[in-house]
């Protein structure tokens, strides 16, 4: 005799499984997710962005030292500056042709491979002034789309651990 449970009922019951059934979600990530109200797969699928950042609207930015800014920039050059500490200085220009340096003190070799001349990226960080405007170790993303989702981060989680795109993909694969 066939199982009397329909496919729809099986899928809805599957949504009540804990998030730990998803590959890559262990006890610590589950605790971080629980702190923002995500305990089950259904909670995860119904977790929506708190806002959307439309990065095409940042054409005319007035640069002020000390403010956190999000800029669309194009890489002009990148070079290693040696001294007491080696650092990678990435020369960029904004859409208004203002020159901004992006500085990295750690992971220099990694970043040097990523930031090639002509690459367009979105960089978010605190604007500082030292021999010109600069962002030190900003959050960045190679520009591929104009609209980006923003999810709240738990108190125990970090930006790297809160990759909802990957969790949703793993959750969808699990439900198939």
Beta bridge partners of 103: 89, 136
Per-residue pLDDT of the chain (176 residues; tens, 9 = 90+): 444 445 455 455 778 899 889 888 889 999 988 998 899 988 888 887 777 665 554 444 567 788 888 888 888 888 787 767 777 788 888 777 888 888 888 877 788 888 888 888 888 888 888 888 888 888 888 876 666 666 666 555 555 544 555 666 666 666 55
Q: Note whether 139 and 159 are within 8 A (CB).
A: yes
pLDDT at 173: 63
pLDDT at 59: 47
pLDDT at 175: 59
pLDDT at 61: 53
According to CATH, what is the number of the domain 52-142? 2.40.50.140
Question: What are the sequence ranges of the domains in the chain?
Answer: 7-49+152-175, 52-142
């Amino acid at each position: 005799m066939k199982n009397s449970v329909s496919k729809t009922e099986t899928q809805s019951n599957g949504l009540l499984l804990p998030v730990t059934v998803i590959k890559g979600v262990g006890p610590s990530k589950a605790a971080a997710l629980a702190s923002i109200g995500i305990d089950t797969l259904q909670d995860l699928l119904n977790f929506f962005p708190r806002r959307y950042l439309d990065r095409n609207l940042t054409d005319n930015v007035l640069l002020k030292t000390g403010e956190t800014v999000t800029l669309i920039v194009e890489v002009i050059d990148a070079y290693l500056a040696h001294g007491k500490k080696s650092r990678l200085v990435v020369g960029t220009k904004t859409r208004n042709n203002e020159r901004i340096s992006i500085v990295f003190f750690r992971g220099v070799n990694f970043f040097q491979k990523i930031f090639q001349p002509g690459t367009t990226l979105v960089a978010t960080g605190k604007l500082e002034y030292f021999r010109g405007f600069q962002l030190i170790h900003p959050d960045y993303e190679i520009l591929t789309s104009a609209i980006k989702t923003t999810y709240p981060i738990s108190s125990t989680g970090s930006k790297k651990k809160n990759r909802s795109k990957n969790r949703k993909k793993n959750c969808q694969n699990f439900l198939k």
